Every structure is written in C-alpha cells, then in structure tokens.
C-alpha cells in the first residue's frame, strides 16, 4: 500500500463558523444520496491521506495539494496519525457508480472515498472540499482545524456529457486564463471543455504548413467599446489585436485538462464563420476577394463561407483536421456548420455545377453534401463529428452528433432520426446573455436569469433519454472583452447548469439551490472569482389589475428577501414601504418606481429604477 501522508501542525482552535444547510452540507451539484450521521471528522495534526494503489495515490496527492493551497497545510513524510482519509479503487466494479461515480463514508475517525475509476475519486474530492469552509490560502490558517460532518454519500452523474463552451475567437484569452477556466469547471464536475477556436474574428490554433492562419487570421485591428458599433478596418491600418495557441500550448492545456478529467472538444467552424480562414487564404471562398479579419459582426456582402466545389477547400481542411485530430485525444471534433450564408454558393459556377452533378436542388442540400463529405474526412482521422443543429437541414451526415442551440427543435429532430444529441438551447444555456435587469447589467444580448438556467431540462418529452448525451453552458464572447467579465457572466449560472447535468431530475428544488448557491459565493470570494449577484435584485413588472388598470409587481429570484419601494423619485431603504406581495396601485402623478432588496435587515443587491411609461410599454407588448 502506497501512502500519501498529510501533516497538520496546529493548535486546538476549531473552525465552525461556516454556514451550512439543514442537512449539514451545501454541495453543488447535489449528490444522488446523502445521509447525515451523528458526529464530526476533525481535520487536524493527526490526519493523513492514504492512496491504496497508483491510481488512487495520484488523486490522494492532488487532494494534499488542494488542502495545502486552500488552508496552508504542509505535507509531511512522517506518519503520526490517529485519523485518516482513505482513497480506494473498487476491486469489483459497482455498476451503479459507473466510471464517474463515488461513495464517501465519513466517520469521526476516518473518511473512506471509493470509486470504480480515478475520475470518480476526483469528483469525490471536489465534494469533500465543499464540506470544508472556503479559504484564501492564507498561511495563518494552518493553525486552525476543521470539522466535517459525518455523512454517507453515494453519487454519480445523470449525463455523460457535461460541457462548458468558451469562444476564444471573438476575444482571445491567454493560456493561463484557459487553465483557470478549466480549474473552475472541475470544481463543479463538468467534464468537457468545448473550445471554439475559429470564427470570423480570429483563428486561434497553429497549423503546421499553413502559416498565414496565424500570421494573418489570428489578428485584427484594435477596437474598444460597444461591440456592433466598431469602425471596420481602414486602409493601411495594422492588425494588432489577437493571438493564438501554439501546438505546444495546446498539448499543455490538453494535459492540464486531462489531469482534471476534462476532455477538450475542439471546434473548427466551417463552412461559414470562416472569415479568418478566408482572409488567410482568399482562394477558399466563392468570391476569391481579399478580406481583413473583422473586429465585429460582418455585413452580408462579405463572403465568410467556404466554396464547397473548390478542391483547395478540401486540401486545406484535410491538413487542418489531420493536425486537430492529432492534438486532441477526445473522440469527437466539432465542425460548426451554423449560420451559413448560402447565397454565395448560388452565385458560384463551380458550386452550381456540383449541385447539378449531384442532383441537388436546394442550398440546404448543398450544405448537407458538405457536411457528409466532411464527416467522412473526420472519420478518416479516427474521430466522430459534432455540429450545430443547422447540419440537420437538407439531410444529416450518417453518424453526426447534433448540438442543438436554436432551442431544442433541431435536437428533437435529430434524436427522432436516431442520432445522439447535446442540448445547449440559447434561451436556457447561453451565458453570454444578460442575467439581471438590463438597466444595471453590462451591455449584452437578451436575458437569461439564474433561475431559468436551473429550469433547463435536456431531455425533451417523448425522446429516448439514451440519445441525449447531455448539455452545455455556452459562452460567446463578442461582448466579453476580458477574463474578469467572463467570470461575471459564468458564475453562478454555470453552477445551476452543473446541477442540471449531474443531479437526478427529481431533486430539482429552486429554493434549496438558491441557498446553496449563495453559500458558494463564499468560495468564489475566497478564490477571487468575480460573479453576479443579480439573484438578489428586485424584479419589477407591470400586471393588469381587475379593473384593467396597470399595477406593479415586485419579486426576487432569491427566496426570503424583503423589498422596499418608492414612487416619489427618492432612493428607498428599509425605512420605506415594504412590498407585501400584493400588486401595487400606482399613486396619481407618479412617473417611476424604485426598489431595493434587504436580507436580515441588510441591504443586498442593486437598486432597480423603472419609468412607469416603460413598464406600460412592456405590458402592452405582452398583451399583443
């Protein structure tokens, strides 16, 4: 038995101040089964960690590092323990747990963590870390011991695919930031990092033998401000904004993710969203025009679609996907397929001739031809193909997996055809959408509150659950220019989606989740992760009264808050009228309403102001 030993040099101080729920734990995602027992395990100078074989010893070492980083506990080679943490790989496979499940039994003297595979142990230690209080890693905390409730947990995921997508084309994020993103994913048991590497605004992956992809395609003119208002590249203006990952960078990140049991799904978006590729090699488009990489959305007059009938298209795609397949060990490659402006094909003599030769009558069928040919190329590299739901149109490639983003319709259609599906519907999982009231949120498209993320259900009614691989939180970065804002847009909504994808559906309880998410804000604070507190903000809506007059309704996503309001144009606090739950009659002469939320007598969240005329317009829209 190989032993990894942790030694804690401490006094007799006990840390018990961390708030926990009525069951003694605040774990996200919620475990399958939790049974709270009497007593507590004390992490102290008598505690050591045992990994019973090579696989479990590696996870034991990782746990030792995590505890050291979080609490300043040093690792010692001297065994002086009277209590222990044992990590165990099952000798006989437990079919209930599968590859990613685990059991954890915590008594006053021992923690035993068991799993069929190392990844199960890894997810178990994520849960164990959530049974401990948050810490900022201050070395002074090494003289404090920590109590963990005695509990028995059985846990395993609902879905095999639990993804988060990051678009690094619209704004480039460094290797170090990508690693930090992966670290945060791992804490909430996500297991696939969907890496959107190419688009109209930048090419981010080095391809040997195609130097222009990173010399030209990775760079655009610098612009700062509100996306969609930028001036297009001017004559002679240098392209200085951007970046790319070398193949060594990618290997390093792939290895880093694998150590955290996260697979990386690379995306090379074709045939559309290919302006960075076309800017590098203009002969790949139908127009053959020389374009610049765009700093924002492109006009319809710009051809960002690969010419299907062009031999050069397939020569370059073969070179690209050969290297992509070699760099990424995951069994799938994402090939995009969304939002193709097929009008350019219909003006190209080669594409028209190809359509006539193949008996193709519709542009959507020409894209289907492209996708089926591309799938054969992907399969020849030893991979399977994933594409956005547009690839369903015109006929689906034989073995393709569909990632449904325009709602669930495309996924439903694909599943009915017997294809596997990953759900990431825009109105439920797109973290690039605003998460709170637009009047106080940073610039962004649409609205996706935390509660809506939590209500996301990946399996549509009437569809075989076996065909739904899982789901994904997707973040497009047109309006996310830096990493701090990326964090703000990600958390806590990604927590909600993690629970949807891991925990049993019948455990779904919004009020319980909201309280656990609030406690996880302490972990985010300790890790200096930026996040949104929009769940505390008042939600102001207009409703129709019985007398057909407009009344005002005030609510919160977070349960247990008190809302104070005013109609007189002054800023409310807890000395103002309190909302009782009954829609408010508007006083004569009032032109606006202002509201704030309090919790336990303390101001929490942001003040929301609304002109009554705007609320009336919103009400009229809902009536129509």
Known catalytic residues are: 199, 273, 339
The count of C-alpha atoms lying within 13 angstroms of the C-alpha of 466, restricted to the half-sphere facing its C-beta, is 1
- The encoded tokens of residue 154 equal 């059985």
Q: Are 292 and 183 in contact (CB under 8 A)?
A: no
Number of CB atoms found within 10 A of residue 6's CB? 23
Distance (Å, rounded) from C-alpha 306 to C-alpha 277? 9
Distance (Å, rounded) from C-alpha 440 to C-alpha 83? 51
User: Helix, strand or coil for residue 509?
Assistant: coil
User: Helix, strand or coil for residue 511?
Assistant: helix
Report the candidate in 44, 37, 19, 40 with the shortest Cα–Cα distance to residue 130: 19
User: Helix, strand or coil for residue 541?
Assistant: strand
Number of CB atoms found within 10 A of residue 195's CB? 25
User: Helix, strand or coil for residue 83?
Assistant: strand
Q: Are strands 241-242 and 110-115 parallel, antiparallel or unpaired?
A: unpaired
Contacts (Cβ under 8 Å, ≥6 apart) of 248: none
Q: Dihedral angle at the C-alpha atoms of 91, 97, 99, 104, nearest 10 degrees?
A: -70
- The encoded tokens of residue 517 equal 């998410």
Number of CB atoms found within 10 A of residue 147's CB? 18
- The encoded tokens of residue 409 equal 């319709």
- Torsion sign over Cα 310, 316, 318, 321: negative
Distance (Å, rounded) from C-alpha 597 to C-alpha 222? 40
- CB-based burial, 203-232: b 16+ in 10 Å, e otherwise: bbbbbeebeebbebbbbbbebeeebeebee
Q: How far apart are the first and last CA of the chain?
A: 71
Distance (Å, rounded) from C-alpha 583 to C-alpha 544? 9
Report the candidate in 9, 241, 43, 218 with the shortest Cα–Cα distance to residue 129: 43
Q: Are 241 and 233 in contact (CB under 8 A)?
A: no
Q: For residue 150, which phi and psi values (nearest 5 degrees)?
A: -70, 125
The angle subtended at Cα 213 by Cα 212 and Cα 218, nearest 5°, is 115
- The encoded tokens of residue 210 equal 């195609």
């Amino acid at each position: 038995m190989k032993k990894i030993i942790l030694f804690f040099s401490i006094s007799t101080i006990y840390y018990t101040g961390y708030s926990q729920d009525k069951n003694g734990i605040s774990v996200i995602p919620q475990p399958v089964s939790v049974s709270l027992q009497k007593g507590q395990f004390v992490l102290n100078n008598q505690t050591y960690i045992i990994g019973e074989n090579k696989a479990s010893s590696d996870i034991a070492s990782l746990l030792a590092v995590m505890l050291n980083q979080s609490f300043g506990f040093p690792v010692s080679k001297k065994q002086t323990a009277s209590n222990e943490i044992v990590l165990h790989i099952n000798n006989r496979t437990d079919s209930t747990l599968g590859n990613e499940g685990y059991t954890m039994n915590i008594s006053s003297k021992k923690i035993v963590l068991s799993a069929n595979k190392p990844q199960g142990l890894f997810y178990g230690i994520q849960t164990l870390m959530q049974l401990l209080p948050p810490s900022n890693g201050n070395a002074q905390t090494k003289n404090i011991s920590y109590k963990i409730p005695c509990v028995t947990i059985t846990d395993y995921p609902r879905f095999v695919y639990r993804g988060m997508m990051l678009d690094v084309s619209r704004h480039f994020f460094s290797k170090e930031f990508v690693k930090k993103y992966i670290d945060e994913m791992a804490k909430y048991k996500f297991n696939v990092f969907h890496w959107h590497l190419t688009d109209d605004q930048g090419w981010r992956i080095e391809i040997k033998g195609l130097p222009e992809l990173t010399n030209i395609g990775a760079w655009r003119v610098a612009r700062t401000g509100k996306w969609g208002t930028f001036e297009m590249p001017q004559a002679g203006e240098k392209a200085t904004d951007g970046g790319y990952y070398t193949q060594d960078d990618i290997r390093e990140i792939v290895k880093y993710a694998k150590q955290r049991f996260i697979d990386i799904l690379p995306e090379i978006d074709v045939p559309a969203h290919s302006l960075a590729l076309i800017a590098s090699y203009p002969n790949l488009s139908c127009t053959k025009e020389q374009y610049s990489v765009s700093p924002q959305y492109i006009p319809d007059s710009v051809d960002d679609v690969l010419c299907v009938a062009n031999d050069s298209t397939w020569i370059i795609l073969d070179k690209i996907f050969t290297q992509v397949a070699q760099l990424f060990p995951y069994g799938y490659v994402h090939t995009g397929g969304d939002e193709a402006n097929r009008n350019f094909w219909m003006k190209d003599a080669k594409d028209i001739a190809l359509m006539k030769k193949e008996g193709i009558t519709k542009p959507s069928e020409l894209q289907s031809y492209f996708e089926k040919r591309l799938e054969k190329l992907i399969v020849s590299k030893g991979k399977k193909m994933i594409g956005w739901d547009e690839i369903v149109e015109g006929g689906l490639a034989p073995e393709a997996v569909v990632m449904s983003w325009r709602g669930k319709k495309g996924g439903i259609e694909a599943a009915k055809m017997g294809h596997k599906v990953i759900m990431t519907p825009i109105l439920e999982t797109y973290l690039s959408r605003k998460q709170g009231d637009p009047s106080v949120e940073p610039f962004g498209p649409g609205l996706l509150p935390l509660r809506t993320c939590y209500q996301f259900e990946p399996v549509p009614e009437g569809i075989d659950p076996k065909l739904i691989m899982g789901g994904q939180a997707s973040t497009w970065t047109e309006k996310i220019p830096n990493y701090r804002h990326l964090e703000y847009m990600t958390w806590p909504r990604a927590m909600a989606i993690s629970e949807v994808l891991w925990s049993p559906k019948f455990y779904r309880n919004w009020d319980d989740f909201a309280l656990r998410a609030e406690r996880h804000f302490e972990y985010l604070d300790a890790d200096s992760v930026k996040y949104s507190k929009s769940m505390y903000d008042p939600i102001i809506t207009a409703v129709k009264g019985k007398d057909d007059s407009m009344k005002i309704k005030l609510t919160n996503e977070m349960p247990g808050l008190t809302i104070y309001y005013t109609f007189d144009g002054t800023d409310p606090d807890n000395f103002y009228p309190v909302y009782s739950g009954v829609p408010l009659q508007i006083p004569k002469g009032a032109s606006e309403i202002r509201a704030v939320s309090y919790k336990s007598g303390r101001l929490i969240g942001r003040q929301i102001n609304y002109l009554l005329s705007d609320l009336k317009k919103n009400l009229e829209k809902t009536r129509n």
